[in-house]
Amino acid sequence: MKSEEALSKLLPAYEGYYTVKKEDVTTPFAAEAEFRCHTENYLLVKAAKIADIDSNEFIYFSTQQCLDSFLLGELSSLAWKAGLDKVKPYNGHRNSDVTLIVLADAFSGELKKTARKLHMSKNYKFGLYGWSNFKLCALDLSTGNVVNNFQGRDIKKLFNKTGLLSCK
């Protein structure tokens, strides 16, 4: 299975809750997905509002023929920058996570160590205006190897559910 086929198999899993774009996306990426959730808490009546809570997630999908450590670092920094440009922190902002999913036909080099070291996070006004974390998960379609950072470990389960790990 090639990376473009895998992407077309993975995107329907996100279309239920996310706004998925395949056109007019940030330059090196094949697709983007965006999730926005706004919650309000009241005390008895709507006039007695306790809190506004916003939670966002911005996902960037990349398809590559061969993924190495340098390219993974470049894609990660581009996704992080593009995701942070969309964040508008205020006192009701909880979190805005940025996720990078890379589907590669093959890996080259030692990616596991590089992926585990990729840790990016940002607090807004010491956490009072929320925070942002970076999640990363990359899949080698030829061998079924998955590399991820600590925050991106839950994406591996989605690869199993969509059948990407069973197809080699």
Q: What is the pLDDT of residues 92-102, one digit of tens each?
A: 899 999 999 99
pLDDT at res. 160: 87
pLDDT at res. 8: 93
**What is the mean pLDDT of the segment spanning 57-84?**
95
d(CA 102, CA 30): 10
- Least confident interval from 39-48, 72-81, 89-98, 112-121: 39-48
pTM of the model: 0.91
Looking at the chain, the whole-number percentage of residues with pLDDT higher than 90 is 70
Among the listed residues 115, 105, 110, the one whose alpha carbon sits nearest the alpha carbon of residue 66: 105
3-state helix, strand and coil shares in percent for the chain, rounded to the nearest 5? 30, 40, 30
